[in-house]
């Protein structure tokens, strides 16, 4: 069958360095860190006392008060980012076939704050169950997809993807596949996460996954630096409107970029550590190039997973050398997690947005906080250290790798009619 072309026609973002796409990009370009001492709760007894929180966010500024109370923050973030993307796309809900418009949303954890709050209240009580009637709907990882579809009346494919830190990249790839197979015209896709709470922080601390640089949070996320000591927990949401090309053209839509293909793989190695030789990362990037029918030489920029963990950064850099060969030295590479922290299941969405804007703006966002480059990583690769670089960007790859060995890569290119 003839596959449909798929384009991006709307963007929305709520991040630790900007509460909309414009602010997000401005601070990416400037190299601003979103890390700071935690304000959501008293973290003084935790090993890590900082995170990349969403700032100056009041849900009732965006949502009806009664509706906001029925939603975990991860859903609130999803609704706000999606509202921006829908407005940006200028979709006329009354003019499209709502049976062919859907929502595919990613979250690694879902409503962990709601779960923590409700179970804590029960544990502190007298044993009498007094659970909020919205406990389950607020907590489940698919409810953001459901809430988005309810708000806009979208009756097409509707589900959630859960693959840890690869969740929203998986959502985007599923959306891409539904549209190119002709099963939908428009899909709202992306991801959200709200894990900066006692349970989220405590759990990742117990795994020894987080940086403990409490004396200098802004410099804690330092991918590819030899002094990195773990990732910085982040939160927020990113929404992309994926649309069938002819459908977008017919309604006169603005087109940001075209989705060319994507890849999936599994490390099949360890619950949290990457394969030391980067085998899963190698395979997923090769799969993405094959699916896009593109050569390595056609990629200009890779927004890497680059979490600032000792093992992960080394494995991913090895994989890039293996897949791209000599062309690896012509690439720009950067980890925007150095600024946003790690948004877990929402990482792929906001990083794909950053990559699309790199295409549109001709600017590569930097990898900040690199002061002492790790000698175990190929120093000849251009990691866009500490300062944004101007460059014509025709095609990008965005990588996300999750606990459990889940890997996803997506390739987009500048739109050509």
Candidate list 52, 247, 275, 305, residue with the active-site label:
305
* d(C-alpha 174, C-alpha 383), whole Å: 29
pLDDT of residue 179: 98
pLDDT, mean over the chain? 97
- Is 104 a residue whose pLDDT tops 90? yes
Tokens coding 276: 């030391």
Numbered ranges of CATH 3.40.47.10 in the chain: 6-250, 265-413
Write out pLDDT tens, residues 33-84.
999 999 999 999 999 999 999 999 999 999 999 999 999 999 999 999 999 9
Angle between helical axes of 73-89 and 112-124 (0-180°, round to 10): 160
Quick check: 146 pLDDT over 90? yes
pLDDT in tens, 121-132: 999 999 999 999
The whole-number pLDDT of residue 222 equals 98
Evaluate if residue 417 carries a pLDDT over 90: no
- Start-to-end C-alpha separation, the chain: 21
pTM, 2 dp: 0.98
The predicted structure's pLDDT at residue 121? 96
What pLDDT, on a 0 to 100 scale, did the predictor assign at position 332? Answer: 98
190 close to 168: Cβ distance less than 8 angstroms: yes
Tokens of 103: 């929502």
Q: Give tens-digit pLDDT for 237-288.
A: 999 999 999 999 999 999 999 999 999 999 999 999 999 999 999 999 999 9
Write down the catalytic residue from 165, 247, 275, 406: 165
Q: What pLDDT is attached to residue 238?
A: 99
Average pLDDT over residues 286-303: 98
Q: Looking at domain 6-250, which of 3.30.750.24, 3.30.390.10, 3.40.47.10, 3.40.1050.10 is its CATH number?
A: 3.40.47.10
Sequence-distant (≥ 6) Cβ neighbours of residue 308 within 8 angstroms: 211, 220, 221, 222, 223, 225, 228, 230, 231, 232, 335, 337, 338
Annotated active-site residue in 247, 275, 342, 406 = 342
Write down the pLDDT at residue 163.
Answer: 98
Q: Listing from the earlier edge strand, what are the strands of the sheet with 158-161?
A: 158-161, 101-106, 186-193, 236-244, 6-14, 257-266, 406-413, 395-402, 301-303, 332-334
Looking at residue 186, its pLDDT comes to 98
pLDDT grade for 1, boundaries at 50, 70 and 90: confident
Q: Span 185-194, mean pLDDT?
A: 98
Fold of 265-413: Peroxisomal Thiolase; Chain A, domain 1 (3.40.47)
What percent of the chain is predicted at pLDDT more than 70? 100
342 as an active site residue: the answer is yes
Q: For residue 52, indicate whether it is catalytic.
A: no
pLDDT of residue 297: 98
């Amino acid at each position: 069958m003839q596959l449909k072309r798929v384009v991006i026609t709307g963007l929305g973002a709520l991040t630790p360095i900007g509460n909309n796409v414009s602010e997000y990009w401005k601070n990416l370009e400037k190299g601003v860190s979103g890390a700071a001492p935690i304000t959501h709760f008293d973290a003084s007894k935790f090993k890590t006392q900082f995170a990349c929180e969403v700032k100056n966010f009041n849900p009732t500024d965006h949502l009806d008060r009664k509706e906001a109370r029925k939603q975990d923050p991860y859903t609130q973030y999803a609704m706000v980012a999606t509202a921006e993307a829908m407005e940006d796309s200028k979709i006329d809900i009354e003019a499209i076939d709502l049976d062919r418009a859907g929502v595919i949303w990613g979250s690694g954890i879902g409503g962990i704050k709601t779960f923590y709050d409700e179970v804590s209240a029960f544990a502190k009580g007298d044993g009498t169950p007094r659970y909020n009637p919205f406990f389950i709907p607020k907590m489940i990882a698919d409810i953001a997809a459901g809430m988005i579809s309810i708000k806009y009346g979208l009756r097409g494919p509707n589900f959630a993807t859960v693959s840890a830190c690869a969740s929203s990249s998986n959502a985007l790839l599923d959306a891409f596949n539904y549209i190119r197979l002709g099963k939908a015209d428009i899909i709202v896709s992306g991801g959200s996460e709200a894990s900066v709470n006692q349970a989220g922080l405590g759990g990742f601390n117990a795994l020894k996954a987080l940086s403990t640089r409490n004396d200098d949070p802004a410099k804690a996320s330092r991918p590819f630096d030899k002094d990195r000591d773990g990732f910085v927990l982040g939160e927020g949401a990113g929404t992309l409107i994926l649309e069938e090309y002819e459908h977008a053209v017919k309604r006169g839509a603005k087109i940001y970029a075209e989705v060319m293909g994507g890849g999936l793989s599994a490390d099949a190695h360890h619950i949290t550590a990457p394969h030391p030789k980067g085998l899963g990362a190698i395979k997923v990037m090769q799969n993405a190039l094959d699916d896009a029918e593109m050569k390595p030489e056609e990629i200009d920029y890779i927004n890497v997973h680059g979490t600032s963990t000792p093992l992960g950064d080394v494995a991913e850099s090895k994989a890039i050398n293996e897949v791209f060969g000599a062309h690896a030295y012509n690439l720009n590479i950067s980890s925007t997690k150095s600024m946003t922290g790690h948004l877990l299941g929402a990482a792929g969405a906001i990083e794909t947005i950053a990559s699309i804007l790199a295409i549109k703006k001709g600017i590569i966002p930097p990898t900040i906080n690199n002061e002492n480059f790790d000698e175990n990583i190929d120093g000849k690769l251009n990691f866009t250290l500490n300062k944004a670089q101007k460059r014509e960007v025709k095609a990008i790859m965005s990588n996300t790798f999750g606990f459990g060995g889940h890997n996803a890569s997506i390739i987009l290119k500048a739109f050509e009619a």
